[in-house]
Every structure is written in C-alpha cells, then in structure tokens.
Amino acid sequence: MGKNQLSIKSIVAIGIGAALFFVLGRFVAIPSPIPNTTINIQYAILGLFGVIFGPVVGVLAGLIGHILIDLSWGSPWWSWIIASAVYGLIIGFSSKYVKVEEGSFGKKEIIGFNVCQIIGHAAAWIVVAPVLDILIYSEPVNKVFAQGAFAAISNIVSTAIVGTILLAAYAKTRTGAGSLKKED
C-alpha cells in the first residue's frame, strides 16, 4: 500500500466515527435558547476518534457525519460542516500529545486533551463557522457570533466531560508500555 492511501483501519474508523457522529447529532441534540443551535455530545466522540486515529480520521468523520446530519434535516449548511471538519483536524493533531494507545490517560493527558479540544472548538465555532456564515450565506454578524459562542462553550463543556470519560475508559483497555514482565 502506498504512503498516500488510507489504511483499512482508518477507513473503518472514519465510517464508525461518522455514523456515531450522525446518530448522536441527529437524535441526541439538546435544544438551546439560541436559535438553530443545539447542545451536542457528538464532538466528544469525534474527539475520541481524533485522538485515537489522528487528524485524517478526525476531519473525515466530522465532515461526513455533519453532512449526514444536515441532509437528514433537509440541506447541508456548509459553514458548520466545515467547522466540524476543522474541529476534527485540530483534535486529531492532539494524538501526537495525548497517547492513550500506550494505556496512559493521567493528569498530563487530560490537560493536553482539554487544551486541544478548547482550541479546536474555539477555532471552529468562534472563527470558522461565523465567518463562513457571513461569507457564504450573508447571515447577520451578531446572530452568527452569538450562535458560534454558544456552540463553542456548550461543545467545550460536553467534550470536557464526556470526551475525558471516554478517553479514560479507552486508555484502561490499552496495555501500558513495559507493563508485561517475564515470569521466572
């Protein structure tokens, strides 16, 4: 297999990640006081997949999952779809710093994950989504930045809680480096 091709493991992760993102985003979205904005937990799942499988899986699972959500409601809202992909990309890069595959998810990894997810959500929802809403859809500035700020805050909180729990549970399933010892 060439260097530019995705592994079967990554393709499966994209499919499962996008499916979970869709199901949670479509059926577990909690209404909010801000119009056309919901409280979501699918970004915790995207965080899990991004940390475990990296930025390509994060981008594609977020992109495909969000497209499926929007299509199930009628038509795609590209600014927010792109923002989900940006979050997936940023959280995917955290896989270089948060090494849950090694069975470790202590204080350092929890802080690293949460710093990355805060940066990812801030970039996606406070910058990318509102700016693209204005450029693509000519939406009112105050409206889109209010929606983006609410989305960023609610996604940060839900990802901090659910994502941290998921990654801690996942790390416990991994064998730590040097944990196996030869019996005499």
| Tens-digit pLDDT profile for residues 124-148 | 999 999 999 999 999 999 999 999 9
User: Which residues fall within 8 angstroms of residue 151, CB to CB, at 6 or more apart?
Assistant: 37, 121, 125, 129
Residue 2 lies in a domain: no
Q: Is residue 3 part of a domain?
A: no
Q: What's residue 104's pLDDT? A: 85
In this prediction, residue 1 has a pLDDT band, given cuts at 50, 70 and 90, of: very low
> Does residue 110 sit in helix, strand or coil?
helix
The residue type of 143 is: K
Residue 147 sits in a domain whose CATH number is: 1.10.1760.20
Q: Does 178 reside within a domain? A: no
Residue 98 lies in a domain: yes
The boundaries of the domain holding residue 114 are 8-172
Domain count across the chain: 1
- Backbone φ and ψ for 39, nearest 5 degrees, come out as -90, 130
Task: Report the percentage of the chain scoring pLDDT > 70.
Answer: 93
Asked if 28 and 42 count as a contact pair (C-beta separation under 8 A), the reply is yes
Reference 87, options 19, 31, 155, 139; nearest CA is 155
